[in-house]
Structure 1
């Protein structure tokens, strides 16, 4: 057992002893500060964390788990989720070319540095996103899958809703700064579970330690892959507004945990906090297997201000408080994806001013559900809250594979784009669907 693990077990031992003696009158004791959590500034407004049992979805620990945060490059997990979906549906292949548009090539670092007009394979684009967190690869892949990054971001948000990520909105495929791009630690844990649950055949990509690309050896930004036993993913992220983020998963003795840490002041602190949470979580699962009733939230003492935030989260239902809490995750989505693969050469120009070419045949999609009733309810909600753009439209719960799409049809191109623009301005995700060809 490592010195670090012994220190964590000592933490839990002290906590358990305190709990057993709490009934007896005693002088108030100073809480033991868990290793590394004390390194998070107590006044930090960026910090949030969660630990989840990947098998059951139980939240073992949460601190500010539902507070809005910027995902930064953890966004790329959703971009990859939709790429995995397209692969599984046979719509793309790993060796298909991904052409870099001028816009994709112009993305700021970190990036692969592929020139406009050049191409790499789908597999290389995904490897570049996982290891170097390549923004140019993320945009190029988004354009291949969705036609434009804007349209692809709308698909990302819709899929997030379907997965139960109730507090997430995506504005781009890379995670570069955008005030509209918001999520929570809980939602990122839901996404992490979904990736490994729905696409286990592709999840292993997240454990790539080194990527050989055009004479370069690119090392994965996730340092825990190299130093913590059992870690096999997922993704790091950083922008100034978010601080240092990490979604990480590890397996020990056939038990898998997911930890999300957001708002770390630096890489080292973020990684140490995540490692500390995972080690403690595994110890809790091991002790439960021996019959002990114990949770991380009950036994992981924190600095005073973080402890107060955790307690407030518990009162709002962020942690289990000794009970089993399931993540609000929808069933795995149907494999009949609505993504249409559009090569960059055929991408229509946005805001071109062209008149509607198929008046009355355009559609706005506002949700996708597993039941017709839910799809109809969504139509009623949107009609009630944003009725004006849809006065001339027809609301339908349209079956598409195993899912029901909430759609307003019978609109012109200008009406559909205008309606969706108005909805997005009011934080209601939507997607414009052009008329089918032929």
Structure 2
């Protein structure tokens, strides 16, 4: 009996079929997420939800044979972002992704940002890109569609469409990413939402048990969508206690499971499907910092008339970085907050320690990787000592980790833990397939 995991990422969409009993991958189909839309402002990050839905449907049609044998499906998705739907369940807005910067815009009084104002009302720090920060900006600026009846994540939207519902439902793992969510009650803080001048009736229905929300027209159980961070943990980590997940994709995270609702300054506490929580440290940089350096090298080649199109830039960058580290020279001190940080959106990147010996492409590549590792290690040090002492190993996940042995080497040294790569490559999709099996009652929760 097969289950299906659908992972909707910022840059790709993956559909994975797994054998629920054996826990093995049967087929994987991945496509670029080409749904990006141009916004009216440079700080907007928008995608077309209908295009994303069509990509998913195309992939399922391609896997029609496996789909016939499937019993249940679950979607994991890029967290925090929202889109609006009407009373029929039709999308009436673009998807405002987790990278959208409207929450960092200053309010009309010019004193604080929208994220800061909402955070002051809620009594906690909130970040741009969080669903309710985005909605707060839209509500204050007349951007909420007049026919909007609710809003949800892109995963909730696809799950709703798969089973023909007209109202979205949301798992706590996704709902917490909106902000203004009670981790203890596993529900939105509706009084805080209303205090901020927002209509709480637009909040999606929270499904606390993480079970089925409906069935597809051909009878397959559709389980409530979950956040991609939690899905990656489910897919990559076989033993939650004692394991640290280090995920590097477009962004990056460290994640540790705890059975208690612990709140630690500088870390996020996220509900975990099936019970418990993840403590998460999430820099904004991740793999896109290394991609920024790649772009710099490509533009340099073009500027000097060299063909830069089909070269394996990442492979060569990794090779040069490894060579630079073997020289025994301390890596350049790169601050990789090129896109700001959750604590300080206005932060900028930088570099120190330049010398004639280190002013080379290889030392720049090694320095950026060291900066990425340093950001993750800083979050690791914030974990409570009793929890950190129980960690026996680190699991590496995400393409930015899997394809970069130099980054793996740095993290092994700096975390002081043995690090191995996850057994499956599409961790979030595999985790969603596991969640489908549990949510549909095919396996123990």
Instruction: Using structure 2 for the length normalisation, give the TM-score.
Output: 0.26
Larger Rg: 1
RCO higher in 1 or 2 (8 Å CA, sep ≥ 6)? 1
Query: Which has more helix, going by share of residues?
Result: 1
